[in-house]
Structure 1
Amino acid sequence: MKIFTAEQIRNCDQYTIKNEPISSILLMERAAEACVDWISENCNHHRNFAIFCGSGNNGGDGFAVARLLYQKGFDIDIFTNSKAKFSPDAQENFKQIKEISGITVREFKEAMNYRFDSRTVIIDALFGTGLSRSLENEMKDLVEFLNLKNNIKISIDLPSGLLADGIFNTDAVVFKADYTLSFQFWKKCFFHTETGKFAGKVQVLDINLSQDYIDDTETGDLVIDDGVIKNIFKIRDEFSHKGTYGKVTIVGGSYGKMGAAVLSTRAALKTGAGLTFILAPKCGYEILQTSDPEAMFIEGGADYIDRFEIDETAVCGIGPGLGTHKKTSESLLKFLKNYSKPLILDADALNIIAENHDNLFLIPQRSIITPHPKEFERLFGKTENSFERTVLAKNKAYELQIYIVLKDHHTQVITPEKKVFYNITGNSGLAKGGSGDILTGVITSLLAQQYSEEEAAILGVWFHGKAAELAAEKYSKESMLPTDVIAEFGNVFTELNAKVKKVL
């Protein structure tokens, strides 16, 4: 799915109005109906709605939602500035509201004395994407007041106080929603740490905006959704053999850090690689042969790796538990100087490269690196926020002609062409040591199976997150372990095959 800017979304609205054709007020009604369908299905244990409406089109959405919810039998209180100059569509919907005797219209200031009981849902329709500066004065005070309430909170299209495409400043006041009902598209702000936390759980509602506009409009920002994955995933050929699915070499492990190598190797095996090797120090031999007997062991040193002897026909994933011993560092950098095939670099491999800026140019083109934010900072420098970090990552991916898998709550796959794919699978249960080692194994395995670098990175992060969702359902986010995530790989493949397989 494409991610559009606020301006592109407005243009999409206008294109739809002109070419469907449909009036703007009826398009607003369509959006309100989509909201009410979701609210009435998911909030049927709540009877009261306190709806806060601004003077722009987001407020118009709120007025229309209020009217439709009232018609479904819910109790409605509207809070607004009745003396404001409303947009034409907001004015029309406000006029209809005033004609309904069962809906109470109150001024914003009356919210301070309103009784928000446990069955009241607060709906934010104050600004949406129409905001151009931080909240201030009365609106700032109102949002701060509402944020203190324990009631369920829903934002229409975008939590008030957010920019769709960026960030005002880290201390700006923003409505903190439990759910955001976003029209047609994800907004970029939903994916970034500083802003996404205000959106809660995002529900993208299809309001039938022009598909022609969507298809014809270019954007470098995309969501890794089911449609993207179905176009990438390849069903396993029945007439195949182990050579069909490639050869993987995981390079990792050091004394006391063999677990990372075990996890990465097991992930590669469970993701379908034809042959899997593990290059590790001798101290990990028994651990690895016992834990992952399907993998073949290659000795690369005693207590740490001091030599990189890689089969040229294998796809190489380097880093899990590698350590940063001086001889390991020297051997890795020497290896990279003489290696030109794309590979996957993670963890200590990245930390070794980060010791000297010139080392970045040793990374073979089309390689995939998988840094978490701190590793990214060591490699490329500090940024003020995650939006700036993404811009820097795009520039570095282009400069070095590599793929950057920037691990975060919504992991980003950033291509040499400066495209950004945001992942929407996964959960905070992955915030544990070992989770990144699994991802390295997954992506290395997929690259060995003849997926392109872009496909391997996109499918890998989606697959990793999907398995984490299944693990959390069984064990909870708190208790799930990286090994539990690997144990769900088979179920993810089963689901994938069912989605893609042709049926009569």
Structure 2
Amino acid sequence: MKILTASQIKSCDITTIEQGISSINLMEKASGCCGRWIEEHFNVTDKFLIFCGTGNNGGDGFAIARMLYEKGFDVEVYIDQENLNFSNDAEINFRKIKQIGGIGIHDFNDFLNINREKTVIIDALFGYGLNRKLSGKNKTVVEKLNSIKVVKVSVDIPSGLYADKLPDGDSVVIKADFTLTFQLYKRSFFHPETGKFCGKITVLDIDLDKEFIENAETDYFVIDEDLIKNNYRPREDFSHKGTFGKSILVGGSYGKIGAVLMTALSALRTGSGLTFTMAPDCGCQIIQSQIPEAMFIGCGDKYVERIEIQEKAVYGIGPGLGKDKKTQNALFGFLKYYDEPVVLDADALNILAQKNWLDLIPKNSVITPHPLEFERLFGKTNDSFERIELAKTKARELDIFIVLKDHHTAVITPDQKVFYNITGNSGMAKGGSGDALTGILTSLISQKYDIENACIFAVWLHGKAGDFAAEKFSKEAMLPTDLIHEIGEVFKYLVS
């Protein structure tokens, strides 16, 4: 799914209207989608307080109020009664609710005490077109709403949030539990500084012009299930282990053998035909006893001291590797003579940053840094938006793929496309989760997935397995090994 800018979304709205639907009917359709979602997720006994601005987002709020009232919900509407300069469509819907005696209309200043257990706040103050920070009554009411612990649902986007960039430094943004957005995700949903305001996001299809969206140019995309199902290649019956590639997972050091073990296990679970661990001899018994399907190649006593180059193999290097001097020399020697794509993670990245060996990375390779590792590699940025832009620059300069790990992991390609992942959860914030991703990536590349598709599929698969593990064990209790064991359930899900 594409991510469009606020100006592109506005143009898409206009194009949709030009194709034959009136703006008021488009608003009715959007509001109807919100109303139906609310009906499905809340009880008719709940009380709804709907806060409306003067623009079309407020018009959505007025229409939602009418629709909920007609379904038997208890609805109150709050507006700034000193500013009734509504947009044309908002004015039409405001007049409609004024004719309904059962909907109370109040000023923002009248908002006082509420029954917290039975109240739901609907935020329809400002939509995606906001381009200034909140002030005056709008700022005051958002601050008051944020101070109250009740469920809050934002229409289109949390009020105060911009679609494409960070809010101004002292901006006030409503903290939503749910965001009901229209047709497309906004880019700000995926960054830690801004996404934290959105809660759980639901995209509602309101039939915006599909031809406009298809033709719109953008560098930003969401990894959704349609994209994954187009990428996924089920195994053919007439095949053999050689069909599915050779993965060599290099890593481990004394006390950190578990990292490369999990990487190998995840590669096997993802379908690697032949899987090798290249690790210090101190880990041989551990690895062979835990995953007998993976062959072992010794490469040192307690540390990786050499990395043997084998033909027709894909290497994943880094988990538990350590930064011993001999290990650094081994990595240097390998990268100096190896020119095929490789997956680099963890201590391999830390060694590269420490030695400034970035130019040794083979073209079309994949690196998988978390934000701190990214900073060590490429320098400090002020925020995650800047980090993505720097990643785009470095991916192009080095001709590599960067899998930038975060709550919404982003895949950045050499041609500067950015794919945001929407699977995964905070239960994956445990040591070992990244090692599993390295194994998944290496396995998919060894199975001859196009590298861009391998990256996209890997981060989705990794996150989806994490979601299945969290559902089964809870976010707190789930382990990275639980995630690995759920990979099979994800493949079953894909073919169901």
Q: Which amino acid aligns with 1:7?
A: S
Candidates 402, 424, 428, aligned match of 1:404: 402
Q: Which amino acid aligns with 2:442?
A: T
Q: Which amino acid aligns with 1:52?
A: F
- Contact 2:44 2:74 survives alignment (8 Å): no
Query: 1:81-139: CA deviations, max 9, x gaps?
Result: 1342111111111111111111111011111x243442111000001113111222322
- Contact 1:56 1:130 survives alignment (8 Å): no
Q: Which amino acid aligns with 1:86?
A: F
Q: What's the secondary structure of 2:354's corresponding residue?
A: coil
Q: Which amino acid aligns with 1:408?
A: D
CA distance in 1 between partners of 2:172 and 2:323 (Å): 43
C-alpha spacing 1:192/1:334, structure 2 compared with 1 (3 Å): same
The aligned residue for residue 107 of structure 1 is 107
Question: Is 1:436 the equivalent of 2:434?
Answer: yes
Q: Offset of 1:46 from its aligned partner?
A: 4.2
The aligned residue for residue 362 of structure 1 is 360
Q: Offset of 1:170 from its aligned partner?
A: 5.0
Q: What's the secondary structure of 1:297's corresponding residue?
A: strand
The aligned residue for residue 87 of structure 2 is 87
Matches within 5 A, 1:345-424: 345-357=344-356, 359-424=357-422
CA distance in 2 between partners of 1:39 and 1:436 (Å): 37
CA distance in 1 between partners of 2:493 and 2:125 (Å): 40
Q: Offset of 1:151 from its aligned partner?
A: 1.2
The aligned residue for residue 178 of structure 1 is 177
Query: 1:50-87: CA deviations, max 9, x gaps?
Result: 00000111111111111111111111111001342111
C-alpha spacing 1:255/1:46, structure 2 compared with 1 (3 Å): farther
- Contact 1:434 1:482 survives alignment (8 Å): yes
Q: What's the secondary structure of 1:79's corresponding residue?
A: strand
Q: What's the secondary structure of 1:341's corresponding residue?
A: coil
Q: What's the secondary structure of 1:477's corresponding residue?
A: coil
CA distance in 1 between partners of 2:127 and 2:280 (Å): 56
CA distance in 1 between partners of 2:247 and 2:28 (Å): 55
Question: Is 1:65 the equivalent of 2:64?
Answer: yes
Query: 1:286-322: CA deviations, max 9, x gaps?
Result: 1111111111111111110111102121100000000
Q: What's the secondary structure of 2:495's corresponding residue?
A: helix
Q: What's the secondary structure of 1:328's corresponding residue?
A: helix
Q: Offset of 1:47 from its aligned partner?
A: 2.5
Q: What's the secondary structure of 2:207's corresponding residue?
A: coil
C-alpha spacing 1:170/1:201, structure 2 compared with 1 (3 Å): farther
Q: Which runs of 5+ in 1 are unaligned?
A: 499-504
Give the ranges of 4+ consecutive aligned residues of structure 1 lying more than 3 Å apart after TM superposition. none
CA distance in 2 between partners of 1:170 and 1:427 (Å): 27
The aligned residue for residue 8 of structure 2 is 8
Q: CA RMSD in A?
A: 1.0
Q: What's the secondary structure of 1:128's corresponding residue?
A: coil
- Contact 2:129 2:163 survives alignment (8 Å): no
Q: Structure 1 stretch 344-353 or stretch 41-50: which is displaced more?
A: 41-50
The aligned residue for residue 343 of structure 2 is 344
TM (norm. structure 2) is 0.98
- Contact 1:249 1:310 survives alignment (8 Å): no
Q: Offset of 1:172 from its aligned partner?
A: 2.3
The aligned residue for residue 468 of structure 1 is 466
- Contact 1:47 1:120 survives alignment (8 Å): yes
CA distance in 2 between partners of 1:448 and 1:173 (Å): 48
- Contact 1:243 1:274 survives alignment (8 Å): yes
- Contact 2:423 2:464 survives alignment (8 Å): yes
CA distance in 1 between partners of 2:291 and 2:309 (Å): 19
Query: 1:322-359: CA deviations, max 9, x gaps?
Result: 000111112201211111100100000000000133x1
CA distance in 1 between partners of 2:440 and 2:53 (Å): 47
Matches within 5 A, 1:240-255: 240-255=239-254
Query: 1:374-401: CA deviations, max 9, x gaps?
Result: 0000001111111110011011111111
CA distance in 2 between partners of 1:312 and 1:194 (Å): 44
CA distance in 2 between partners of 1:155 and 1:428 (Å): 22
Q: What's the secondary structure of 1:223's corresponding residue?
A: strand
CA distance in 2 between partners of 1:183 and 1:325 (Å): 52
Matches within 5 A, 1:115-264: 115-264=114-263
CA distance in 2 between partners of 1:185 and 1:151 (Å): 27
- Contact 1:45 1:119 survives alignment (8 Å): no
- Contact 2:279 2:299 survives alignment (8 Å): yes
Q: What's the secondary structure of 1:279's corresponding residue?
A: strand
CA distance in 2 between partners of 1:450 and 1:115 (Å): 59
CA distance in 2 between partners of 1:341 and 1:115 (Å): 63
Q: Structure 1 stretch 396-405 or stretch 116-125: which is displaced more?
A: 116-125
The aligned residue for residue 497 of structure 1 is 495
Candidates 411, 421, 425, aligned match of 1:427: 425
Q: Offset of 1:45 from its aligned partner?
A: 5.2
Q: What's the secondary structure of 2:81's corresponding residue?
A: coil
Question: Is 1:457 the equivalent of 2:421?
Answer: no
Matches within 5 A, 1:28-39: 28-39=27-38
The aligned residue for residue 268 of structure 2 is 269
CA distance in 1 between partners of 2:369 and 2:22 (Å): 48
Q: Structure 1 stretch 38-47 or stretch 301-310: which is displaced more?
A: 38-47
Query: 1:152-188: CA deviations, max 9, x gaps?
Result: 1000000001000110245421100000000011110
CA distance in 2 between partners of 1:46 and 1:475 (Å): 33
- Contact 2:69 2:103 survives alignment (8 Å): yes
The aligned residue for residue 501 of structure 1 is none
Q: Which amino acid aligns with 1:102?
A: G
- Matched residue count: 495
CA distance in 2 between partners of 1:381 and 1:472 (Å): 34
- Contact 1:317 1:345 survives alignment (8 Å): yes
Q: What's the secondary structure of 1:219's corresponding residue?
A: coil
Q: What's the secondary structure of 2:476's corresponding residue?
A: helix
Q: Which runs of 5+ in 2 are unaligned?
A: none
Q: Which amino acid aligns with 2:430?
A: K
Q: Which amino acid aligns with 1:470?
A: F
Q: Offset of 1:246 from its aligned partner?
A: 0.4
The aligned residue for residue 73 of structure 2 is 74
Q: Offset of 1:478 from its aligned partner?
A: 0.1
- Contact 1:78 1:104 survives alignment (8 Å): yes
Q: Structure 1 stretch 127-136 or stretch 446-455: which is displaced more?
A: 127-136
Question: Is 1:446 the equivalent of 2:444?
Answer: yes
Q: What's the secondary structure of 1:421's corresponding residue?
A: strand
CA distance in 1 between partners of 2:381 and 2:81 (Å): 43
